[in-house]
């Protein structure tokens, strides 16, 4: 199957001319101040459509066409580059990469000696000129031959020192960008200044770099990707830099005190084979969602200077390097509406309704807006063009409005004055608003969650039966279930003796669930099933959990200084419910766990655990001894055996349990070299822990 990328189809010369104008205007806006009418993916599709039309209709090609030009021919600059600063051509999949590499080797007449593989940073190319070790000038790429002087930004860029380690004269090339943290800080400063925010980190970096006068300073980041001597320089350093492999040049750059990706999870490597190149592409793609900065692809280039020289250059791009583009995780779409929902804990959460947009392999219609403070911070309005972000398995989120695309027809988002579920008052004292009735507002939702298979697992309690009990006043929360009598249940409509006895048996069995299941049933804010297991294993008893202060709670993996006080406050609020559970005789201990000794930060559960410190992912339909286990029960099994259950495959994954119809996760694991086992092999590996899990179920 071809991995050719999607493109904008142009019907005729008129559509082609309009597309050319749109592409040029969009590029001009982007290179002027970081704004654009198109997101990166839409722009790339448009340019590919223009290129395809020109290939079929060479007689119609316009001189203003962006194809074959650096920065689409739209960038301006009056400072000449000593060596042209070209763009890179793109490939969009393994098949195209193989074809490109074969073309390079045909040009050389021999195999490439070694490949360099590095992340393609999502920022702006920049040239930093050093004179005798001191940073003297910053130049944008411009049209590749000349760029704009942005030396006014010197001193605001992390990773680009004022002085190098050695007093050398050299030109360093790299990427200017904003990290996620810098972007949030920049948006906060702009919001405080004029009530608007930046659309995304890339446009924020572009606008910030070119702005000479602004009442606030936004920090930027530099990552170097090359070093060039002046063409007329005949010094020993210049000779060395011209002859060294790219990988060794980058080692020298880092040694000068300049930031490179060497210290990041996506550090550049040298690969001797194209198979290893493909592996590294997969590794970088897998790590992408976890990075604190944006990448939009992987750069593959000949590592040896001799190979680069022989392969040569085209008018727009070097022939010895290519950009392997990754699927877009960010696009622009319309914010159509905002829905307000009250969750089972009483938290009121807004959800964005979007004009459907394809993002990172799926169609996105809804996205999280977090809370009212988040909406206010970002200055969102109904009808806004908004940047929507998604990476890996992360729920899509609205990043920011694209302010320069506003038409004047946008409307304020109506903020609810009462709880959208029950109509009672709202507690707005915290950032996450909550119905003043708390869990009782959505009591039915709380109880449905508590009795579910992955919590108490009480069979025979459907939503209509729970509503029947609530309406009859038999229960107010799930703890009341353990006090129900046979006579009370028989008095309900359509409850016969058999169904009553079966339900009472199921309720009695629920008392014996491990503490991790009981804690999960409480629905403590800031925790879920996985976190409930960690808390239960750490403290071993409910008494120990309830006695813990915020500092002690923080010792549980994944519970930091922000979440810990919330958990403590929640447990205080839930105290009457927990007391009822204790009174009913519900189990309050975690099998196999030992309470931490005084002053002890972590708990070692058991010895020589088979999955100790391993990140394990389960995919596909389980078979054999694991066939009866739900996905949550599989996760419980993994964590009891010492591992960490994860939902996505990454370079950190140690083991993939692949059942029938494993699909894309298995393919990704194979690409990353992750160990893959069958359900039967995994069952044998965890042995006694499996017997414990099936006993609980």
Catalytic residues: 120
Bridging pattern class, strands 362-368 and 321-325? unpaired
> What is the 3-state secondary structure of 171-203?
EEEEEEECCHHHHHHHHHHHHHHHCCCCCCHHH
Residue 187 φ then ψ, to 5°: -65, -40
CA-closest candidate to residue 460, choices 515, 498, 410, 512: 498
Bridging pattern class, strands 79-80 and 146-147? antiparallel
- CA angle 523–526–528, rounded 5-degree value: 55
> Do residues 463 and 444 lie in contact, with contact meaning Cβ atoms separated by under 8 Å?
yes
Quick one: DSSP state of residue 401? E
Give the containing element (helix H, strand E) for 385.
strand 385-389
The set of residues, in sequence order, having a beta carbon less than 8 Å from that of 106 and lying 6+ positions away, is none
The set of residues, in sequence order, having a beta carbon less than 8 Å from that of 11 and lying 6+ positions away, is none
Residue 470 φ then ψ, to 5°: -65, -45
Distance, CA of 215 to CA of 217 (rounded, Å): 7
What's the CA dihedral at 415, 420, 425, 428 to 10 degrees? Answer: -50
- Tokens 């099998």 sit at which residue? 591
Give the containing element (helix H, strand E) for 595.
none
> Do residues 362 and 664 lie in contact, with contact meaning Cβ atoms separated by under 8 Å?
no
Instruction: Tell me if residue 207 falls in helix, strand or coil.
Output: helix
């Amino acid at each position: 199957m071809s991995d050719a990328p999607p493109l904008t189809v142009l019907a005729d010369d008129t559509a082609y001319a309009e597309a050319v104008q749109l592409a040029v205007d969009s590029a001009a806006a982007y290179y002027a101040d970081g704004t654009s009418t198109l997101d990166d993916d839409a722009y790339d599709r448009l340019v590919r459509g223009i290129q395809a039309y020109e290939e079929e209709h060479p007689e119609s090609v316009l001189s203003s066409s962006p194809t074959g030009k650096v920065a689409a021919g739209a960038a301006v600059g009056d400072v000449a580059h000593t060596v042209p600063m070209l763009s890179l051509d793109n490939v969009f999949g393994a098949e195209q990469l193989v074809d490109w590499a074969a073309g390079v080797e045909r040009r050389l007449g021999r195999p490439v000696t070694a490949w360099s593989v590095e992340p393609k940073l999502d920022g702006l190319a920049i040239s930093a000129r050093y004179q005798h070790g001191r940073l003297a000038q910053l130049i944008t790429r411009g049209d590749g031959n000349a760029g704009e002087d942005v030396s006014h930004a010197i001193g605001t860029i992390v990773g680009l020192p004022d002085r190098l380690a050695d007093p050398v004269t050299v030109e360093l090339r790299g990427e200017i960008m904003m990290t996620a943290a810098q972007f949030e800080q920049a948006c906060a400063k702009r919001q405080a200044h004029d009530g608007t925010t930046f659309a995304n980190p890339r446009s924020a970096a572009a606008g910030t770099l070119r702005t000479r006068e602004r009442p606030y300073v936004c920090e930027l980041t530099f990552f170097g990707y090359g070093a060039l001597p002046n063409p007329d320089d005949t010094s020993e350093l210049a000779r060395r830099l011209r002859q060294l492999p790219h990988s060794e040049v980058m080692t020298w750059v880092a040694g000068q005190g300049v930031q490179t990706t060497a210290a990041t999870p996506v550090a550049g490597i040298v690969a001797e084979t194209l198979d290893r190149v493909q592996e590294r592409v997969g590794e970088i793609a897998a790590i992408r969602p976890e990075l604190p900065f944006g990448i939009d692809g992987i750069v593959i280039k000949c590592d040896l200077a001799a190979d680069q020289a022989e392969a040569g250059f085209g008018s727009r791009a070097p022939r010895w390097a290519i950009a392997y583009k990754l699927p877009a995780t960010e696009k622009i779409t319309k914010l159509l509406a905002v829905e307000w929902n009250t969750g089972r804990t009483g938290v009121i959460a807004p959800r964005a309704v979007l004009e459907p947009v394809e993002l990172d392999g799926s169609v996105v219609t809804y996205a999280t807006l977090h809370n009212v403070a988040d909406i206010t911070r970002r200055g969102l309005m109904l009808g806004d063009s908004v940047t929507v972000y998604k990476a890996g398995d992360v729920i899509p989120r609205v990043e920011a409005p694209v302010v320069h695309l506003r038409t004047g027809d946008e409307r304020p988002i109506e903020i609810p004055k009462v709880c959208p579920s029950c109509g009672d008052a709202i507690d707005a004292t915290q950032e996450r608003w909550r119905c003043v009735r708390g869990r009782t507002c959505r009591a039915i939702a709380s109880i449905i969650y508590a009795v579910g298979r992955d919590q108490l697992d009480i069979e025979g309690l459907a939503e209509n039966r729970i509503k029947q009990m609530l309406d009859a006043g038999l229960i107010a929360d799930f703890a009341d279930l353990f006090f129900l009598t046979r006579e009370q249940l028989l008095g309900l409509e359509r409850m016969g003796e058999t169904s009553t006895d079966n339900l009472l048996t199921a309720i009695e069995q629920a008392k014996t669930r491990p503490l991790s299941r009981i804690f999960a049933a409480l629905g403590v804010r800031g925790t879920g099933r996985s976190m409930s297991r960690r808390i239960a294993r750490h403290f071993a008893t409910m008494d120990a959990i309830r006695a813990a202060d915020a500092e002690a709670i923080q010792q549980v993996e994944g519970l930091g200084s922000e979440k810990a006080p919330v958990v403590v406050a929640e447990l205080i609020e839930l105290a009457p419910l927990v007391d009822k559970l204790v009174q009913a005789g519900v189990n309050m201990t975690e099998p196999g766990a030992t309470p931490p000794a005084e002053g002890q930060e972590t708990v070692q559960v058991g010895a020589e655990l088979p999955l100790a410190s391993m990140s394990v992912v389960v995919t596909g339909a389980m078979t054999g001894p694991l066939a009866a286990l739900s996905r949550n029960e599989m996760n419980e099994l993994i964590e009891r055996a010492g591992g960490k259950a994860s939902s996505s495959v990454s370079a950190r994954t140690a083991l993939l349990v692949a059942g029938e119809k494993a699909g894309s996760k298995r393919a990704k694991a194979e690409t990353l070299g992750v160990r893959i086992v069958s359900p039967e092999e995994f069952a044998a590996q965890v042995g006694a822990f499996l017997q414990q899990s099936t006993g609980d179920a």
